[in-house]
A = this chain, B = another copy of it.
Amino acid sequence: MFERVFADATARDWDDAPDGTLRMAVVGCGWQARAESLPAIATADYCTPTVVVSGSAEKRAELGGTYRVTAIDYEEYAAGVATEEYDAVYVATPNRLHLPHVETAARYGKAVICEKPLEATVERAERLVAACEEADVPLMTAYRMQTAPLVRRLREFVRDGGIGVPLRAGGDFTFPALDGERGPDQWRLDAELAGGGALFDLGVYPLNTVGFMLDTAPVSVSGETRSAGEAFDEVDEHVDFNVTFEHCVGSFSASFSGYPTTRITVQGSDGRIVVDPAFGAYENRDVTVDTDEGHVRVIGVGADETREEFDYFANAVLTGADIEPDGRDGLADVRAMAGVLESAETGRAVRLDGDRESGGPRRPRDRRT
């Protein structure tokens, strides 16, 4: 059973080999879009960038030239300029600005892939999902880990009973937000724009990835936040949170300061999985699986999941396939994270009500299983 996890570590189990190419507008040209997403879209099989939207004349000139695409500003985007040049929109602005840009896309009938977390508050995330549902346009939450082939293989391994019954999972994402060129002047440290700090920006990775790998969703959450650094006076510098999933428990953490760490662990009745590092976009994954069958450690497995993410999205839009990390999936995580912040205030666990229809705990099953 081991071998399959690693043997097919670059296989696409969702690829319908669609005809045509999805033309994409990239809305928001910050670091994420420029360093990760635009290069991925430009080299993907089933999509291509045709429009970039930025408030910066400099970025418009630079990116318009580099990618030979139409470059417009936010007012032009909202007014419907160049809508004939794109079929879908990728939204990578600060969290709190997702809603208006997604509403614009929905108004013009464009498919949407929106960065995580879906929005800065539950209410705005609900409106975002509703806008796409009412306009009947596809909506994907940009959970790149869900399209990482290795993560998909590990999920199948778990689903096939590879570690027995999952009992406990955990994850940590520590990324020193002030290191490098960004410094303290960034929207991730602005409570209004971001919705939360380390939790919203980093904690969402292990939270969503563990839920995906175990095919489950949060039922209740609790957590604590800490901020010591001056730059973090508005948002959580550190968060430690516990999630009760439908059939197991999860223990998570995320930090904007500290030694860089990205890790997932899953323990079951008959085995365990450790992925460490787990989340870095350009980092090799290092995976350890222990079961009664033996011990396997593999370093540097998988494929570039950012490119996989956009091809997964384009494949689904072009063929009409279901999107698993859909708006409901993104909304469930915003609800869970808002619950964690509420718990940090009150000291009590927060139960997440709702069902599939209201974005609540049930996660949609993969259409292929």
B267 pairs with A244, CB closer than 8 A: no
Interface size, chain A (Cβ < 8 Å): 33
A258 pairs with B167, CB closer than 8 A: yes
Is A271 located at the chain interface by the 8 A CB criterion?
yes
Describe A's contact surface by its main secondary structure: strand
Shortest distance from the beta carbon of A361 to any chain B beta carbon, whole Å: 17
A154-196 residues with Cβ-Cβ distance < 8 A to B are 163-164, 167-168, 170, 172, 174
Provide the residues of chain B in CB contact with A269, threshold 8 Å: 257-259
A244-283 residues with Cβ-Cβ distance < 8 A to B are 244, 249, 251, 253, 255, 257-259, 261, 267-272
Contact with B along A115-131 (1 / 0, CB 8 A): 00000000000000000
Provide the residues of chain B in CB contact with A21, threshold 8 Å: none
Give the CA-CA distance A164 to B255 in the complex, in Å: 15
A251 pairs with B249, CB closer than 8 A: no
Shortest distance from the beta carbon of A288 to any chain B beta carbon, whole Å: 9
Minimum-distance CB pairs A-B, first 7: A251-B251, A259-B271, A167-B258, A259-B272, A240-B249, A258-B269, A259-B270
Residues of A within 8 A of B (CB): 163-164, 167-168, 170, 172, 174, 222, 224, 226, 238, 240, 242, 244, 249, 251, 253, 255, 257-259, 261, 267-272, 290-291, 347-349
Task: Write 23 A-B pairs (CB below 8 A) sorted by A numbering.
Answer: A167-B238, A167-B257, A167-B258, A168-B240, A168-B253, A168-B258, A170-B251, A172-B267, A174-B267, A222-B222, A224-B242, A224-B244, A226-B249, A240-B242, A240-B249, A251-B253, A255-B267, A257-B269, A258-B268, A259-B269, A259-B291, A261-B267, A348-B348
